[in-house]
Amino acid sequence: MASTKRLAAARQNWRQAGLRYYAYSHFLKDLFGFRVQKVSIDGGFTCPNVDGAVAIGGCAFCDNRSFSPSRRVPRQSVLEQIDDGIRRIKLRYKCDHFLGYFQPATNTYAPVQRLRPLYEAAVSHPQVVGVAIGTRADCAPDEVLDLLEEIASRTYLSVEYGLQTIHNRSLDWMNRGHHHDAFLDVLERSRGRGFEICAHVILGLPGESHDDMMATARELARLGVDAVKIHNLYAVKNTPLADQVAAGEVELMARGDYVQAVVDFLERTPPGVVVDRIGGEAPPDYFVGPAWCLDKPAVRDAIRAEFESRDTWQGRLVDQSLSPSQ
């Protein structure tokens, strides 16, 4: 279990380490004392805006095969997926400890009786030191939150809710099937349960101005989430977004504009909020654009350079009274 004291201590020293923003890798190393990598797990879930519960067709940008290798091959058991993922990760990184990341689709969208054995299998793996679960704001009833609280009492747990934006018109465009009030509701019901609350945000949504994106940043600062995951809107094949890009109806964000927006966003993000990610990409076989986001190191370097050129940092423009308690 990651104690409250350990979590608080891990949130203290990123500025002293000379960082410009509070990177997740830094937080995990401070928390555990060693490098930790995420290994993707596919629980075989769908989403309520795919199966017709709230909509059909899924989000306008979404093809789960582009987000997770497991959707491109026959699905294995949870433990087999972890072992296979560890083998692949070890080809690139020297790492012996991992977070089991339930990634594709909506990973709380099932009865507790189905969820529990999947989560327990991940926790039981000897190299897994914690779990991350990606889900939707409208798919976390109290009985599921009770289960997550129980898991969090035994291991580190991060629950990633797909906020995407605070603007309901954008949620309607993406066929999300819920509005911002669903996020507000699940946030309040998730507080104090011992797991980290991460908000997933997309920058560059059609029709959103720079001011709109900064409004989302300010709202997250006010709400006091524990972590944020940011990426640009990108298009993958066989999605409504890909069709809109091809028809010239949607223009995807240029790299320079995205870099500026990320730094502006993080200046408005409280310093105690962990930054889980600052970019996204998809496998080339599924990818439509923009091409620049396939070079993740270059995007990271450009964001760091922008921080340096401004001599700024995460939280510089935050009203400190809004910051989560440290």
pLDDT in tens, 256-286: 999 999 999 999 999 999 999 999 888 888 8
Residue with tokens 């899924």: 58
pLDDT confidence bin for 323, thresholds 50/70/90: very low
pLDDT tens-digit series, residues 7-56: 666 666 788 788 999 999 999 999 999 999 999 999 999 999 999 999 99
Least confident of 2-6, 200-204, 219-223: 2-6
Q: What is the pLDDT of residues 227-255, one digit of tens each?
A: 999 999 999 999 999 999 999 999 999 99
Phi then psi dihedrals of residue 72, to 5 deg: -110, 0
Number of domains in the chain: 1
The pLDDT score that the predictor gives to residue 13 is: 75
- DSSP conformation class of 321: G
Residues 6+ apart with CB under 8 A from 83: none
Decide if pLDDT at 195 tops 60: yes
Q: How far is CA 2 from the centre of its chain?
A: 20
How many CA atoms are closer than 13 Å to the CA of 286, on its beta-carbon side? 20
Three-point CA angle 32, 34, 37, nearest 5°: 90
Residue spans of alpha helices (H) in the chain:
4-10, 24-32, 78-90, 112-124, 142-152, 168-173, 180-190, 210-223, 240-246, 255-267, 296-310
Q: Residue 218 maps to which CATH number?
A: 3.20.20.70
Tell me the three state secondary structure of residue 74.
coil
Q: So what's the pLDDT on residue 1?
A: 54
Q: Which domain holds residue 203?
A: 4-322
Q: How many CA atoms lie within 13 A of 125 on its CB side?
A: 28
Would strands 98-102 and 128-135 be described as parallel, antiparallel, or unpaired?
parallel
The SS3 of residue 13 is: coil
- The confidence score (pLDDT) of residue 285 equals 87
For 96, other C-beta atoms within 10 Å of its C-beta total 13
- Count CB atoms within 10 A of the CB of residue 71: 17
Answer whether 139's CB lies under 8 Å from 164's CB: no
Specify the pairing of strand 235-236 against strand 287-289: antiparallel
CA distance 83 to 177: 35
Whether the CB-CB separation of 103 and 134 falls below 8 Å is answered with yes
**Which DSSP category does 145 fall into?**
H
Task: Name the helix (H) or strand (E) containing 236.
Answer: strand 235-236
User: Which pLDDT value is given to residue 320?
Assistant: 53
How far apart (Å, rounded) are the C-alpha atoms in residues 75 and 263?
38
